[in-house]
Amino acid sequence: MKVLFCGDIVGRSGREAVTANVPRLRQELGLDFVVVNGENAAAGFGITAKICAELHNRGVDCITTGNHVWDQREIIPYIAQDKRLLRPVNFPPGTPGWGANLFETARGQKILVVNVMCRLFMEPLDDPFRTVDAELAKYVLGRSAHFILVDVHGEATSEKQSMGHHCDGRVSAVLGTHSHIPTADHWILPAGTAYQTDVGMCGDYDSVIGMKKDAAVQRFIRKVPGDRLSPAEGQGTLCAVLVESDDKTGLARSIRPVRIGGRLSPTE
């Protein structure tokens, strides 16, 4: 299988980078499935039903989120009805929505997407490692799920790396989100799982993690309340990774970064 995973979408520039490129990439690369993290898609804070529809219409199969999932309150009733939009699986019991879902591709293959949030420097949620274990216990890679993807949304690189090694050999890919900065450690772990600590963001990199830089910088310099942060509006970069797996085992055969447009050097 060929799966494209796009990092956190930040604002309009990030949405445009995704919607402009995903249809072409699906065709040119022969993609089987596309996942994006959309938790900052609505003006940098949360996501809306309208944005979900826009992304799905442009070829996105699944949208993951993170700590900003509830910033747009209208998403609460919507997420309870659409299993293509996930929230972290380790949110407390009774939270609306789903943290994992098994999808079927056009070729009839099954792909499990698990969205989990870390705890270091984040919210005190349920144990992400035990929660992921509980989800993985329901499936066998290469049999009941031909591809298993874990979006690990977290601040600490150590915690995300630990999740990668914890899942190695049991999933196809563990891909990090949240920091909005792409790391250079895309590789296949010893037991066959593709890994990257952070895929980066889809947005304007002439910014501070996607937000207009002047207001963001002043928050560090002055230490007094200032302008509300808002997304940078320059040309966005699509930051993603392409993972290709072995159809028999479900383990990764390759992982490649994909960067298109904007300020960063292209890799397509």
Residue 268 banded pLDDT, cuts 50, 70, 90: low
Does residue 50 form part of some domain? yes
pLDDT tens per residue across span 142-157: 999 999 999 999 999 9
Name the residue among 211, 220, 150 with its Cα closest to residue 180. Answer: 211
Could you tell me the CATH number of the domain that includes residue 45? 3.60.21.10
pLDDT tens per residue across span 2-30: 999 999 999 999 999 999 999 999 999 99
The pair phi, psi for residue 65, each rounded to 5°, is: -140, -150
Whether pLDDT at 226 is above 80: no
Does residue 11 form part of some domain? yes
Does residue 266 form part of some domain? no
Q: What is the pLDDT of residue 210?
A: 95
Tokens (6 digits) for 80: 């309870």
Q: Report the half-sphere exposure of 7 (CA within 13 A, side-chain side).
A: 33
Domain extent at residue 197: 2-260
Whether pLDDT at 222 is above 90: no
| Distance of alpha carbon 198 from alpha carbon 118, whole angstroms | 13
**Residues with catalytic annotation?**
68
- pLDDT cut 70: percent of the chain above it: 100
Does residue 208 form part of some domain? yes
**Span 115-121, mean pLDDT?**
97
Does residue 168 form part of some domain? yes
**Span 174-191, mean pLDDT?**
98
Does residue 51 form part of some domain? yes
Does residue 37 form part of some domain? yes
Whether pLDDT at 225 is above 80: no
Number of domains in the chain: 1
Residue 84 banded pLDDT, cuts 50, 70, 90: very high
Instruction: Tell me the one-letter amino acid at 86.
Output: L
pLDDT tens per residue across span 37-64: 999 999 999 999 999 999 999 999 999 9
Tokens (6 digits) for 108: 């009839």
Does residue 268 form part of some domain? no
* Spatial CB neighbours of 239, under 8 Å, sequence gap ≥ 6: 6, 7, 182, 199, 200, 201, 202, 257, 258, 259, 264
